Amino acid sequence: MGEYLVEGKFVLTMSGAGIGVIENGAVIVSGQEISQVGNAEELKEKHAELPHLGGPEKIVMPGLIDAHIHTGIALLRGTAQDTWNWMQQGIAPFKKHMQPGDVRLGSMVNIIEGIKSGTTTFADYDYPLDEIINNYLEIGSRACLASTINELSPGMDKLKIGELYPLDEDLGRERLEKALELMEKWEKGGEGRLTFLLGPQGPDMLGEKLLEEIKDLSQGYGYKMHMHVAQGDREIDQMEKRYGLRSVPFLEKMGLIDENLIAVHLTEATEEETCLLAEKGAKMVHCPGSIGIIDGLVPPVLEFLEAGGSAGLGSDQAPGNNCNNMFNEMKMACILNKVKKADPTVMPAWKALRMATIEAAGVLGMEDTIGSLEEGKKADLLIIDINQPTLVPILGSPIRNIAPNLVYSARGHEVETVMVNGELIMENRKMKRVDEEKICREASAAGVELAKRAEGDILSSANEMVQLMEKGYL
């Protein structure tokens, strides 16, 4: 780390109501932080001695925030698409054969995929988290971690669809203790890059007693709760069978809906439930790609925003969404919501850019440190090449087409250089701290081995992808 002057033809600060454009702008980075943002000419004159990054053919913007991702299961990418039973028949038969090395390698590939498409902060929601924490320390990105807490015993793949999951209190307690232990050990680790949330996995996946305890911790210590809520009809079905209540009314009864709740998905939330969450100050994470592919649905994010709520975007997980690229999520958020409402003006590009930066920061409770380019914030930023065929031409007037080009056209590889905490972790498309090619090769091999171990379980399940293969389609 050191001092830099980062110049852009356009600097997107995300200050104000929109994307906060400064034409011919620059950012001064001092150590981990941004010390100045302003006009390039003035700053270049004043800081002529500083190493110079970016330039007049670049866009400079805040690093993207993936507000919901499970990197631990990335090695299952592509194993459960175009199917009705994504979880039990798709993922579960593979997942039970995963070993710690599989978690580590898959997660590493996922983090690299994210960084190479501009993600600087990963709200990773996983278990076990140990290997994943080491990955973040090694690779240098920011992570806002939640060790998933549930009471689900192994053997989910053997349950009948619709059968009530057995909950195991001891397992849940063990998971909570593990989470607290990691929080104590690693909070502010990696020179401040690691922070933590509580991570109950969903109202259907742990019992009332443990949820009550997590609520007390959240309210007592101010920890936010990163939690799947109304994530599918499967969850609602479990809730109704177990408690006679849908997810949101259940959480309300438990006193769990407040500004500390980060409600992820809301796929099955009714309009009334969505508004209730927004009005009580809960935050939402919208994962359009994942829910679109897994469920063929578009969650009620527009209704949540309309009710005054604040939402971020997340890529969810490689085996569902299949990719972890925030440029994909920004585009998906816009286009899927337009199609849902048959209205091309809803979810405009500038809003998606904010939901992947400053508004996501607010959702995670990190708005004072990241999400915009402002004095005093951490230096998490991207340098994007405007001479890529996907972005040409970039116009400053009479219309600024920067937001539409970034959201509707860019694919992620236009990001040339990534800085986190004032450190360059990718420069000119090259990961600086890790050997990308070696990791991908090892992860490929581990994936093939995992698939071999899972073969019996896969073939004996009613897996729809196996059926498609047998018919010669795949």
Nearer to a copy of itself, 374 or 464 (CB): 464
Residue 390 tokens read as: 């996907």
Q: How far is the CB of 14 from a copy of itself (least distance, A)?
A: 11
Nearer to a copy of itself, 220 or 389 (CB): 389
Crossing angle of the two packed helices 326-341 and 288-295, in degrees rounded to 10: 60
Nearer to a copy of itself, 51 or 56 (CB): 56
Q: How far is the CB of 374 from a copy of itself (least distance, A)?
A: 16
Q: How far is the CB of 468 from a copy of itself (least distance, A)?
A: 7
Q: How far is the CB of 210 from a copy of itself (least distance, A)?
A: 31
Q: How far is the CB of 255 from a copy of itself (least distance, A)?
A: 33
Nearer to a copy of itself, 233 or 368 (CB): 233
CA atoms within 13 A on the CB side of 335: 12
Q: How far is the CB of 249 from a copy of itself (least distance, A)?
A: 24
Q: How far is the CB of 302 from a copy of itself (least distance, A)?
A: 12
Q: Which of 321, 330, 276, 274 is nearest to 301 (CA)?
A: 274
CA atoms within 13 A on the CB side of 303: 18
Query: For the chain, what is the radius of gyration of the CA atoms?
Result: 22
CB 32 within 8 A of CB 4: no
Nearer to a copy of itself, 134 or 460 (CB): 460
Nearer to a copy of itself, 256 or 443 (CB): 443
Q: How far is the CB of 211 from a copy of itself (least distance, A)?
A: 30
CB 352 within 8 A of CB 324: no
Q: 347: alpha, beta or left, given left = phi > 0 and alpha = psi -120 to 50?
A: left
**Residue given tokens 């899927």 in the structure block:** 336
Supply the DSSP symbol for 167.
B
Nearer to a copy of itself, 48 or 397 (CB): 397
Q: How far is the CB of 90 from a copy of itself (least distance, A)?
A: 9
Q: Which phi and psi (to 5°) does residue 118 adopt?
A: 90, 5
Distance of alpha carbon 473 from the chain centroid:
32
Nearer to a copy of itself, 94 or 196 (CB): 94
CB 53 within 8 A of CB 6: yes
Q: How far is the CB of 464 from a copy of itself (least distance, A)?
A: 7
Nearer to a copy of itself, 403 or 424 (CB): 403
Nearer to a copy of itself, 44 or 413 (CB): 413
Q: Which phi and psi (to 5°) does residue 472 adopt?
A: 90, 10
Q: Which of 132, 123, 24, 121 is nearest to 74 (CA)?
A: 132
Name all contacts of 205-208 with Cβ < 8 Å and 24+ positions apart. Answer: 205/150, 205/151, 205/152, 205/165, 205/167, 206/149, 206/150, 206/151, 206/167, 206/172, 207/151, 207/167, 207/169, 207/172, 208/254
- Give the separation between CA 442 and CA 439, rounded to whole angstroms: 5
**Residue given tokens 């409770």 in the structure block:** 365
